């Protein structure tokens, strides 16, 4: 058994066969401690494993003297590299056998990074708490390992080839890489060596200015933002924890999702573009700021520049046949006109014309407009229209998952990065490397751990560790945080080495389990240990979120309507009333108006079923567990396979099409219970998907003959009732299905705030405050 337990293997006490480890007899001499004693060592389960006669201070192995505290190579399997460990004890057993107790270091390939380790410095190892006992003749030779201070860049100078170094600790629990406190001076490199390995820390601090966190205001960039579920939740939770986290920038290539984001977060600069173009724009913006921005110029021009996008210039002095640039109002990278080459573009407001006549022009076409460019850059820098390196505190995002999703039948298992969608994880990490935020939060579907041996997840972690960020990986279920939707998702947290790595928030609610995490990643599942006595809140079920909503039909088309009932449950009271937290403080006039007007319910309309499907739904019984198997003409065999009754004539609809579709009979070999499934009051859904498909999913309302509405889907994701969506009905379903569940983001945001305020310990998990899920005032330490 490998003493450095590889990812996914159970950790056990290691026992070695001495006879198979030494090709020649080795000379071993021990120096006894001053006070010898007899004791018994125990394994982690408390079982006696070795009877110890006495301990020793030193051992001479093949002429080389090793002391307690020295590091050594330890014999590995045939054909494999030697292991590396720190010697904690030398001892002799009652049976006259010699052993040493070793605390192990991990090489990169021994961690979750595995195959991605080839991109890391082979001299870099990771400290661990794993210890076990080994036969003394397993030791090969002494090795020098030194601790270096936390690094902030990946440009290192040479380290003597005989040495290894470490700056982080690795734990298999949540695949955690974390910063270590520096040990005493005997364990450090000389100051000259430390500076050569500290990887340009002083350069980084110039751009970062200071890593003392601003307790009152943190800025957030939301990549692949969609309609804003993740950043909304993070900001809500952080504010509840005492940190004012504000989404300054958001980026997505989905136009209607950006419209939804803008409508709910008017204070955020939302950019409708690809992240690839956004990264190129950030690089170009940095160059422009270096060229044009000086503190004195910012101050001198602050009052002279018109607000972006507003106003129409005086055209009295301009001949009507001539066009003159009045000012620049926006910037992008790519080809906004889809007719020219990809490069940097400015949106031009022409003198004598209004905003409707603005055009996008390439920068090389504005060669005589240097003053306009300069004014735009100075004002844009002042207003922070784009983030610069060191100016972003938090970056969050969920790179597209279509390339790894189990619903994709054309996945590239052998070459996962061949798929363009999968390459977005590379772009996401490139943006992290460019901006250097304090904190990172990446979300993805559970399939990222199942697909291609978790290659994409390992890559993401490897990139963070290569940048010397701390990181941890956790699997969280939305149902554990106050929703009737199980929805397991993977979250990768990262932070700068001088920040506190946020813990994962522990569940607040019991959950009705719908699926499980991959066996190899069981140590990443966020949950209470079996040995911990904890009283969780009762699981939230569909009745808790649906019972107050007005009855609507299959063809309902109103975007807004009045509530009919008062809230019936704690969930309903909360989901109706926390809108002010999402959009920030309201003006006095807006507050007065909202008090006078009755609250309205938005988006409570379903995707209308076609006539044939509607007729099928009408025949699904209103009972728990009802689905297509309850339709006339269907029988279920002893093997649980649904099929048509061969003794009866097939039932047809007025259209001439069959009542029972062949596709539902063959779906999952006829064993699936989801097609045309009716949900029930005491149940939960597995996950909200992006496209409601009644032929593959249980989507029918418990008491009404229709699909769940857009608003009901939004409640399943924890969006407040005041949160509105743009686009077609299908667009709205898609945005909601793509979003991170707001309560999960809120729990993560609260944990981030506690870490930022240094109110968390070193445990990988933290308990949330009592009644956290539906509480408006949660500030304070749990």
383-424 pLDDT, tens digit per residue, is 999 999 999 999 999 998 666 655 555 555 566 666 777 789
Question: Is residue 209 scored above 90 in pLDDT?
Answer: no
Average pLDDT in the 311-324 region?
A: 56
What's the mean per-residue pLDDT of the chain? 84
pLDDT at residue 88 greater than cutoff 70: yes
User: Which value, to the nearest 10 degrees, does the dihedral of the CA atoms of residues 701, 703, 709, 712 take?
Assistant: -90
Task: State the pLDDT at residue 400.
Answer: 87
Which burial class, exposed, middle or buried, applies to 191 when counting CB atoms under 10 A from its CB (0-12, 13-18, 19+)? Answer: exposed
Answer for the pair 708, 679: CB distance below 8 angstroms, yes or no: yes
> Three-state DSSP class for 217?
coil
The answer to whether 526 and 765 are in contact (CB under 8 A) is yes
* 611-708 has the same fold as 309-383: no
Instruction: Note the pLDDT of residue 579.
Output: 61
pLDDT at 621 over 60: yes
CA-based R_g, the chain, Å = 31
Would you tell me the crossing angle of helices 729-738 and 255-264 to the nearest 10 degrees? Answer: 80
Section 630-648 average pLDDT: 95
Residue 349 sits at φ, ψ, to 5 deg, of: -100, 115
Beta bridge partners of 32: 56
Residue 416 contacts residue 456 (beta carbons within 8 Å): yes
How is residue 734 written in tokens?
A: 């898609």
Residue 723 phi/psi, 5° resolution?
-75, 125
Pick the CATH number of 309-383 from 1.20.1070.10, 2.40.50.40, 3.40.50.1400, 1.10.10.10: 2.40.50.40
CA distance 723 to 263: 9
Q: Can you tell me whether residue 712 is helix, strand or coil? A: helix
The whole-number pLDDT of residue 189 equals 38
pLDDT digit string (tens) for 664-722? 999 999 999 999 999 999 999 999 989 999 999 999 999 999 999 999 999 999 999 99
Cβ contacts of 704 within 8 Å, gap of 6 or more:
551, 552, 553
Q: What is the pLDDT of residue 268?
A: 97
* CA 717 – CA 443 distance, rounded (Å): 15
Which of 305 and 461 is assigned the larger pLDDT? 461
Q: Which residue has the higher pLDDT, 629 or 210?
A: 629
54 is catalytic: no
Judged against a pLDDT cut of 50, whether residue 589 lies above it is answered with no
CA–CA gap between residue 354 and residue 366 (Å, rounded):
19
What kind of fold does domain 18-147 have according to CATH?
A: SH3 type barrels. (2.30.30)
Picking from 67-76, 147-156, 537-546, 565-574, which range would have the lowest pLDDT averaged per residue? 147-156
CA distance 530 to 186: 41
Q: Are 575 and 601 in contact (CB under 8 A)?
A: no
- 225 pLDDT exceeds 60? yes
Grade residue 34 by pLDDT with cuts at 50, 70 and 90: very low
Supply the pLDDT for residue 33: 44
Q: Determine the Cα–Cα distance for residues 352 and 317; give it in Å rounded to an integer.
A: 9
**Does residue 307 carry a pLDDT above 60?**
no
Region 309-324: mean pLDDT is 56
* Residue 468 CB neighbour total at 10 angstroms: 23
Region 624-631: what's the mean pLDDT? 97
Going from N- to C-terminal start, the domains of the chain cover: 18-147, 309-383, 611-708
> What whole-number distance in Å separates Cα of residue 254 and Cα of residue 273?
8
Active-site choice (401, 419, 441, 495):
401
Lowest mean pLDDT among 205-209, 399-403, 432-436, 593-597: 205-209
Structure tokens at 122: 């082979």
Whole-number Å distance between alpha carbons of 477 and 514: 10
Can you read off the two tokens belonging to residue 103?
Answer: 């605390």
DSSP string computed for 699-734: EE-SSSSSBPPHHHHHHHTT--TT----S-HHHHHH
**Residue 781 in this model has a pLDDT that exceeds 60:** no
pLDDT-derived band at 492 (thresholds 50, 70, 90) equals very high
The yes or no reply on domain 611-708 and CATH 3.90.120.10 is yes
pLDDT tier at 313 (50, 70, 90 boundaries)? low
Element (H, E) at 286: helix 275-292
Residue 550 DSSP one-character state: P
Q: From 270, 259, 260, select the one nearest 223 (Cα to Cα).
A: 270
Q: Which of 13-22, 317-326, 633-642 has the highest mean pLDDT?
A: 633-642
Nearest to 103 by CA among 79, 141, 64, 74: 74
Using alpha carbons, select from 84, 103, 100 the residue that is nearest to residue 134: 100
**Best-predicted range by mean pLDDT among 49-58, 360-369, 524-533, 613-622?**
613-622
Which residues, in sequence order, are bridge partners of residue 40? 51
Question: Which of 32-36, 67-71, 357-361 is least confident?
Answer: 32-36
∠ CA 510-512-517, nearest 5°, is 100
CA 380 to CA 378: how far, in whole Å?
Answer: 5
Q: Averaged over 119-143, what is the pLDDT?
A: 93
Distance between CA 237 and CA 7 in Å, rounded? 32
Beta strands in 25-138 (DSSP E): 28-32, 39-42, 48-61, 64-67, 71-74, 83-93, 98-107, 124-135
Whole-prediction pTM value? 0.87
Compute the average pLDDT of residues 335-356: 90
Backbone angles phi, psi at 672, to 5 degrees: -75, 140
Structure tokens at 248: 């300054």
**Which of the 8 DSSP states describes residue 632?**
T
Residue 505 · residue 752 · CB < 8 Å? no
pLDDT in tens, 160-203: 566 899 999 999 999 999 998 876 434 443 333 333 333 344 44
For residue 764, what pLDDT band results from cuts at 50, 70 and 90? very high
Ranges 24-28, 691-695, 727-731, 763-767: which has the least confidence = 24-28
Query: DSSP strand E in 356-484: where?
Result: 359-362, 394-397, 439-445, 470-477
Rounded (5°) CA angle 39-44-50: 30
Which H or E run includes 233?
A: helix 229-240
Indicate the pLDDT class of residue 434, thresholds 50, 70 and 90.
very high
pLDDT at residue 48 greater than cutoff 70: no
* pLDDT tops 80 at residue 596: no
């Amino acid at each position: 058994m490998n003493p450095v337990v590889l990812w996914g293997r159970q950790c056990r006490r290691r026992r070695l066969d001495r006879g198979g480890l030494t090709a020649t007899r080795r000379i071993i001499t021990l120096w006894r401690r001053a006070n010898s004693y007899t004791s018994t060592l125990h394994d982690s389960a408390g079982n006696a494993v070795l009877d110890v006669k006495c301990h020793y201070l030193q051992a001479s192995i093949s002429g080389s003297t090793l002391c307690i505290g020295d590091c050594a190579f330890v014999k590995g399997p045939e054909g494999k590299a030697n292991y590396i460990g720190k010697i904690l004890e030398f001892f002799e057993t009652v049976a006259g056998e010699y052993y040493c107790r070793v605390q192990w270091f991990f090489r990169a390939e021994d961690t979750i990074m595995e195959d991605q380790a080839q991109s890391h410095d082979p001299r870099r190892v990771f400290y661990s708490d794993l210890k076990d006992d080994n036969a003394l003749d397993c030791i090969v030779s002494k090795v020098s390992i030194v601790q270096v201070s936390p690094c902030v860049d990946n440009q290192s100078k040479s380290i003597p080839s005989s040495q290894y170094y470490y700056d982080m600790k690795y734990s298999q629990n949540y695949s955690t890489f974390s910063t270590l406190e520096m040990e005493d001076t005997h364990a450090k490199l000389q100051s000259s060596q430390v500076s050569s390995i500290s990887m340009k820390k002083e350069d980084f601090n110039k751009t970062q200015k200071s890593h003392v966190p601003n307790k009152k205001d943190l800025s957030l960039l939301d990549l692949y933002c969609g309609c804003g579920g993740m950043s909304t939740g993070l900001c809500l939770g952080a504010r509840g924890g005492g940190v004012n986290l504000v989404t300054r920038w958001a980026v997505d290539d989905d136009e209607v999702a950006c419209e939804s984001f803008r409508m709910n977060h008017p204070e955020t600069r939302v950019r409708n573009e690809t992240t690839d173009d956004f990264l190129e724009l950030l690089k170009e913006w940095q160059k422009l700021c270096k060229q044009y921005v000086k503190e004195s110029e910012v101050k001198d021009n602050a009052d002279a520049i018109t607000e972006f996008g507003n106003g129409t210039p005086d055209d009295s002095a301009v001949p009507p046949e001539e066009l003159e640039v009045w000012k620049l109002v926006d910037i992008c990278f790519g080809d906004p006109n889809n007719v020219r080459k990809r490069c940097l573009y400015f949106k031009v407001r022409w003198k004598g014309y209004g905003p409707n006549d603005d055009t996008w022009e390439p920068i090389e076409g504005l060669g005589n407009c240097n003053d306009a460019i300069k004014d735009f850059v100075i004002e844009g820098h002042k207003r922070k229209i784009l983030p610069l390196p060191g100016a972003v505190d938090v970056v969050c995002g969920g790179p597209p998952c279509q390339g790894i999703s189990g619903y994709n039948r054309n996945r590239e298992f052998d070459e996962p990065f061949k798929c363009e969608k999968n390459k977005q994880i590379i772009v996401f990490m490139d943006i992290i490397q460019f901006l250097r935020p304090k904190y990172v939060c990446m979300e993805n579907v559970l399939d990222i751990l199942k697909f291609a041996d978790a290659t994409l997840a390992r890559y993401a972690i490897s990139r963070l560790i290569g940048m010397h960020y701390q990181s941890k990986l956790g699997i969280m279920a939305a149902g554990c945080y106050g929703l009737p939707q199980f929805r397991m998702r993977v979250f990768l947290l990262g932070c700068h080495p001088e920040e506190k790595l946020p813990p994962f928030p522990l569940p607040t609610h019991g959950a009705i389990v719908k699926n499980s995490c991959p066996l190899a990643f069981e140590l990443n599942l966020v949950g209470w240990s079996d040995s911990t006595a904890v009283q969780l809140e009762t699981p939230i079920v569909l009745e808790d979120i649906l019972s107050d909503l007005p009855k609507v039909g299959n063809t309902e088309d109103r975007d807004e309507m009045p509530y009919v009932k008062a809230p019936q449950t704690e969930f309903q009271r909360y989901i109706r009333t926390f809108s002010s937290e999402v959009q920030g403080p309201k003006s006095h006039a807006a507050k007065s108006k909202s008090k006078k007007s009755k609250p309205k319910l938005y988006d409570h309309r379903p995707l209308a079923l076609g006539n044939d499907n509607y007729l099928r739904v009408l025949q699904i019984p209103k009972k728990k567990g009802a689905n297509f198997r309850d339709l006339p003409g269907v029988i279920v065999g002893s093997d649980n396979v649904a099929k048509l009754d061969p003794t009866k004539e097939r039932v047809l609809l007025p259209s001439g099409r069959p009542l029972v579709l062949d596709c539902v009979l063959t779906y999952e070999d006829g064993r699936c219970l989801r097609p045309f499934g009716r949900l029930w009051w005491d149940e939960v859904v597995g996950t909200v998907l992006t496209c409601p498909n009644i032929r593959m999913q249980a989507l029918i309302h418990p008491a009404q003959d229709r699909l769940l509405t857009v608003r009901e889907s939004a409640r399943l994701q924890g969006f407040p009732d005041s949160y509105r969506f743009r686009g077609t009905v299908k667009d709205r379903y898609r945005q909601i299905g793509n979003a991170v569940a707001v309560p999960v983001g809120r729990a993560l945001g609260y944990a981030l705030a506690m870490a930022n305020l240094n109110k968390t310990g070193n445990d990988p998990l933290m308990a949330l405050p009592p009644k956290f899920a539906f509480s408006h005032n949660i500030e304070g330490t749990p």
